[in-house]
Amino acid sequence: MASGETPAGLTAAEAAERLRRFGPNALADPDHRNLARLVLEVLREPMFLMLVVAAGLYLLLGDLGEGLLLGGFAIINLGLVAGQEWRTERVLESLRDLSSPRALVIRDGREQRIAGREVVPGDLVILAEGDRVPADGRLIACRDLQIDESLLTGESVPVRKQAGSETEAAVPPGGDDLPFVYSGTLVVKGQGLAEVVATGARSEIGKIGVRLATLAPEPTLIQQATARLVQRFAVFGIGVSALVFLLYTALRGGWLEGILAGLTVAMSMLPEEFPMVLTVFLALGALRLSRQKVLTRRAAAIESLGAASILCVDKTGTLTENRMTVACLYAEGGFHDVAPGATALPEPFHGVAEFAILASKRHPFDPMELAMQRLGQGTLGGTEHLHPAWAMVREYELQPGFLAMTRVWDADPVDPSDGYVLAAKGAPEAIVDLCHLPEAERRTVDDAVRAMAGRGLRVIAVARGHTLQGTLPSLQHDLDFAFVGLVGLADPLRADAAVAIAECREAGIAVAMITGDFAATATAIGRQAGLERADHVLTGPELAQLDDRALAERIAGTRIFARILPEQKLRLVEAFKARGDVVAMTGDGVNDAPALKAAHIGVAMGGRGSDVAREAASVVLLDDNFAALVAAVAQGRRIFDNLRKAMVFIVAVHVPIAGLALLPLAFGWPLLLFPAHVVFLEMLIDPICSIVLEAEPAERDSMRRPPRRRDEPILARRGLLWGVVQGAAALLSILALYAWSLGQGMSEDAARGLAFTALIAANVFLVLVNRAWGSAPFRGFLRPNPALFAVVAAAAVALGMVLYVPMLERLFHFEAPEPGLLLLALGIGAGSVAWFEFLKPLRRGR
């Protein structure tokens, strides 16, 4: 776009008023779950329906108290489940707000980055390559702007745009040279400034009812495995419940009581916690990651994060600070180190700074161009080497395979005889090629480049030229240039990068640096960061010469890839995947999108990345920091570990509940558990799963062990067996206590109260045993977790109430135990599973 004064745009007050008047720039979400919808979904849950049926049966049998108790439990269950779902929905909504497209607008006379939903009519929106257009608008200015409108028109060929006047009437999308841009379309080339004319449902995309959200994703590996587990449990539970009904009716008579007994067993075996735990863990895990400035856009990313075996990262801005400064200049065979805050340059180096600035954008965003501009303002201010009045005639952009750009300037529009001034900058090899240097001068420049790159500097070459006014050639290579010099830019390593890479090494995760920078520069940064095999570098030109088999051999021993073009990143991703690696790939540009999509974990840069890269990625680093990515991997491992603990706990806790509901009937004993008891236990289990175990800190060795396999099941055979054995131990101990109590002549209610107390104690110790698998015996009991203590305290109070409050005691068919018997029951319940602590070293060794 042509330079000029920056327009003021709307004021903050005007924008706020228009946001109130027109509403947010968003389409209606048909999948939005409000509280009423959540309640209706809970009303269809099997557990709730079984509670209602059981309450109705008790009322039919004339047991008003039991019927009202179960009815009350049904209402409490409704509130608890709907509340948990509401909490999860709010978490997901906050994450959707974070992941919504952003827009660069001009307000109060300055550029501001805001959420796309906050754009209002009248806003001035700056558009650049890789952006999604946030709203329908009229172009005020543009340069070489082309937009992909296939979302609206179905035409895959981008269309050209041109600026228009305020009097032009809006037209439908499609066709070249229209002055309108449309919400949801993609800028594929050029820049533009547009005034917003329609937002939300008033935009073209809103009128035709197209949703911008992606289609519902396929179930993830964990979701599929959980669904299969739930189906198997459900089928088994239904079969056992039917058997209980038949046995009760045949042996004891009374079909209504038989239905109640069958319902009790069904409720005890229903694995409703599995999908709930999965949803809550993934949602809260994503929220925790967002607090670490890591946004997960897809649930599958959380699964894969803990399994990542190689992190392919960019150098600039990820390992380094992306805070470029000019550290060294080369011209006329000599070097000059630029001191921080320098106010002058030796005369031989004025031309390098002058033409580096002329070859850059006048209002740059690129860190290197900003550094060059700061150098000029600090050292060339007030001299003839800065040219704010010159008019740019043409720009030759970077081309694939030729990393150089040229800007053509008209120094004196009044006198055409002066011709045009050419300023070019780019990769040293490309600029040397542009200048057609003789071999001797090429070697001299190459030596200077190696010297600067060996210091870890990013090296840019600068050239100048002159051409007569008239028709310019289509290729910059057809212009005549003279070599001016080299600019060495320093981008310091992030302070925490070396520590993060060391943490990856300890966790068995390889780190590969993939950069477009010079090989020597990449090597220097790699050494500073502590990358393995920093002296083994594969360059883009070398990669292009390798077939797939040869590439597979080279990448096995290579961790630095330099001079890599964006399209070559995809080939590297596929090569690592072919070796069996779980690949995380970072990227920020439009051309990085295929590689991000192909990686198991695509990681986009939130600070400097394009909208296209963010849409293709499954993870967004909001501050572009490599250490945040490593922290996300650690969180992914913690989440997966805690999910596995929760699944084992669910299996373990359901074994004694189901056994105590079924076996007394088979042995001819009085029934031990009724529906009210099962519901009471479920209300204890749910918060343990969704609150206590989710909040568990990471195991001490979580980042000191190799990555797990990506297809490793959440509940493998060994984990399932571990849970069954724990539950069986608790079941046998409690059954023995129940049989002993009946044999001692205790009443049914007294024996039931003791057995139930032991069951509660066993459940509490099951969570204590399973909350820390990597610690020494009983040491995990002492790990701080405020949620655990709150849940245990609530369980103790509730148990005391149902045992010692007369009305509740009668409703639960209990008889208050004596203190000595109460301690005996608590000890048997705790001891039935506490001894598993001594097996942890054996399990950990395996």
Q: List residues with catalytic annotation.
A: 314
Nearest Cα neighbor of 602 from 626, 589, 579, 585 is: 585
d(CA 395, CA 381): 25
3-class secondary structure, 664: helix
C-beta separation of 610 from 589 below 8 A: yes
CB 763 within 8 A of CB 685: yes
**What are the residues facing 539 on neighbouring strands?**
562
Between CA 624 and CA 502 the distance in angstroms is 19
| Distance separating alpha carbons of residues 693 and 269, to the nearest angstrom | 21
- How far CA 607 is from CA of 241, 588, 673, 797, in Å, comes to 56, 9, 57, 50
Tokens 């006379």: give the residue: 109
Asked if residues 106 and 124 have their Cβ atoms less than 8 Å apart, the reply is yes
What are the distances in angstroms from CA 580 to CA 310, 526, 573, 709, 712? 10, 24, 11, 9, 14
R_g (Cα) of the chain, nearest Å: 34
Q: CA triplet 260, 262, 267: central angle to 5 degrees?
A: 90
Is the distance from CB of 767 to CB of 649 less than 8 angstroms? yes
Q: Distance (Å, rounded) from C-alpha 335 to C-alpha 338?
A: 10
Kindly tell me the sign of the dihedral angle through the C-alpha atoms of 690, 692, 695, 699: negative
Strand partners, 396: 406
Q: Are 814 and 756 in contact (CB under 8 A)?
A: yes
| Token code pair at residue 420 | 């045009």
Beta pairing partners, 329: 336, 487
Write the CB contacts of 641 (distance below 8 Å, at least 6 apart in sequence). 306, 698, 699, 702, 773
Q: What is the spatial distance between Cα 249 and Cα 259, in angstroms, rounded to a whole number?
A: 9
Identify the sign of the CA torsion 14, 16, 19, 24. Answer: positive
Q: Is 486 left (phi over 0), alpha (psi -120 to 50) or beta?
A: beta
**8 A C-beta contact, residue 788 and residue 772:** no
Q: Name the token pair of 592.
A: 């990085």
CA dist 685 and 264 (Å) reads 16
How far, in Å, CA of 635 to CA of 625, rounded?
Answer: 15
In whole angstroms, give the CA distance from residue 656 to residue 547: 59
Q: Are 682 and 293 in contact (CB under 8 A)?
A: no
381 CB-contact burial (10 Å; exposed 0-12 / middle 13-18 / buried 19+) = exposed
> By three-state DSSP, how is residue 486 classified?
strand
790 Cβ neighbours under 8 A, 6+ residues apart: none
Task: In whole angstroms, give the CA distance from residue 5 to residue 140.
Answer: 13
Question: How would you classify the pairing of strands 537-539 and 186-198?
Answer: unpaired
Q: How far apart are CA 160 and CA 171, in angstroms?
A: 15
Return d(Cα 216, Cα 213) in angstroms, integer.
Answer: 9
DSSP 33: -
Phi, psi of 481 (to 5 degrees): -130, 155
